[in-house]
Amino acid sequence: MTELVLSIFDPNTLLPHRAGIAGLALALSALDPTDAPLQWGVTEDAVKLFWEGSDRDAIVWLLQQVYRSDQGYLEVPALKLDEQGRYIFTEGVMTTFLQHSKQRNREKQTVPLSFLVEDDKPEIQIDYRPVIDCYYTRDLKEAFNTKGAFKPQIPLKGHHLPGLVECFVHGAYVESPTGFLALLFLPLACSYYQLPGYRSAVVIPEVRNLTEWVHLRRRMPGRTYRRFRASSAGESALNFLLQEKLIEDAQQFRIDYCEVYQLGSQPWDGNQSYLKQAVHRVQVSDEVLGLYEIASRLLPPRVRVRQGGNGAWVAESKALAWISDNLIANQRWYRGFSEFRKSTAIYLDDRRGLQVMAEHLTTDEQILFDAVQGAFKKYRGQQIEQAKRQNRPPDWEQITNKVIYRLQRPSTQQEFAKALVDFLSQFRSKAALSSGAQIFWWIHQEENWRKARDLTLLAIATYQGQSQEEKAGIEQELTEDTTANVI
């Protein structure tokens, strides 16, 4: 008799192995043991497998029950997926674990799929190549000897597990039978995301209790195409952790740590499009998840209709990607706005979302933010009056850019403090009347002046004008093509 024990507390296991053991526990929970050629038991920390006879026969039977090629999808009955869920799981696995052409067979001709993302917008059209078969539905000859027994060391190609090896020139990664078996079921425990720019992300959770995890995994809501799209690898992690947090009664054993592999092209291999680009290890507080939840509601992916009404596409918010990358690093959500604005066009949808995000600042941050916006309002008022005297419409973009250039040019704490104090003194506002000393004290702390610069520029860039002419201009911009909607 063969007996294998896969424990999540085995010191030789990595996070992918532990997640794979959880995936195996989930798969076994959906099987009928009556006529099975193997027996199993699942505890809080281990999965035990027993069988008589050939190792190959037992494992191939298990894989045949768990993974199926059905109607062009990689089907896993244990996950109980709907149509969108089947597409997301299949496409996610194909761009991560089975990214290499040797790992899967797909039809050459594509079939059209349609998904509704926003109720009042056209459906998204997708060309999908159906799956014929893949690594998980084959016989795994490399794992067994001629007698059908497990090899003591099993080679596993690096492209089968993203990030397992840095480069294939180092050769295959070698696993023990238990490690190899755990990795076969890793896809069941992961979440998958499609990123902008032909990139993908796979999120691997930390599992601390197998039976509780299986119970909670079954209660997870179904994935939609909208949730499949993410603005960055950082947002993928936060989205995953937030969904885990939202499950009722999941506080004791909920997932609060994960790893995210960002996959995309690499110059050293032109044959594959989804090689490891970055790995993020993410563990954040409930406060951070709360900020992400607010940001994701304010800055969601938007359906854009191409000019002439010829199809639609999903545009992810670059502002949400920037905020998410700050949050997973446990930084202030607005950190680096000065550089972000230089390199990225801020669309009107993002601008309005950032305006609301500015309501979630600390007391010191809010005082500075309000003082800057008050001073900017005074400055704008003077510029509007000057434009009226010259009988011309105000140039809103030029008005904003002049002040931003004035306050982003300083590169040291002393230079910035002088520029900010000069600006607040020149254009005095009610918000700054009684808070000058507090602002002066806050920005002169070494760790705060860059935060203050980012906040100052954010206050100016997101200021909402009150004049009827500007409101009319903004409404007109909102009706135009997205590529023109920048500030």
Residue ranges of domains in the chain: 2-118+126-191+203-218, 363-484
- The pLDDT, as a whole number, for residue 238 is 96
- The pLDDT, as a whole number, for residue 251 is 59
How many alpha carbons fall within 13 Å on the CB side of residue 363? 2
Q: What string of DSSP letters covers 109-176? A: S-EEEEE--STTSPPEEEEE--EEEEGGGS--GGGB-TTSPBPSSEEE-GGGSTTSSS-GGG--EEE-
pTM of the model as a whole: 0.87
- The predicted model gives 32-45 an average pLDDT of 93
58, pLDDT greater than 90: yes
Helix (H) / strand (E) containing 240: helix 233-246
Confidence of residue 345 (pLDDT cuts 50, 70, 90): confident
Q: How high does pLDDT run on average in the chain?
A: 86
% of the chain beyond a pLDDT of 70: 90
Look-up of token digits 């959880």: 22
468, pLDDT greater than 80: no
Give the residue ranges of DSSP H helices in 247-347: 286-298, 318-328, 337-343
- The pLDDT, as a whole number, for residue 474 is 40
148-153, Cβ contacts within 8 angstroms, sequence gap of 24 or more: 148/54, 148/55, 148/56, 148/57, 149/54, 149/55, 149/56, 150/55, 150/177, 150/180, 151/177, 152/176, 152/177
476, pLDDT greater than 60: no
The residues near 468 (Cβ < 8 Å, ≥ 6 apart) are none
- The pLDDT, as a whole number, for residue 479 is 37
Mind listing the pLDDT tens digit for each residue in 188-230? 999 999 999 889 999 999 999 999 999 888 888 778 888 899 9
DSSP state of 266: B
161, pLDDT greater than 70: no
Q: Cβ(186)–Cβ(161) under 8 Å?
A: yes
The SS3 call for residue 373 is helix
314, pLDDT greater than 90: no
334, pLDDT greater than 70: yes
- The predicted model gives 91-119 an average pLDDT of 89
- The pLDDT, as a whole number, for residue 178 is 94
- The predicted model gives 462-484 an average pLDDT of 48
Confidence of residue 158 (pLDDT cuts 50, 70, 90): low
Mind listing the pLDDT tens digit for each residue in 242-297? 988 877 555 566 788 999 999 888 877 776 777 788 899 999 999 999 999 999 99
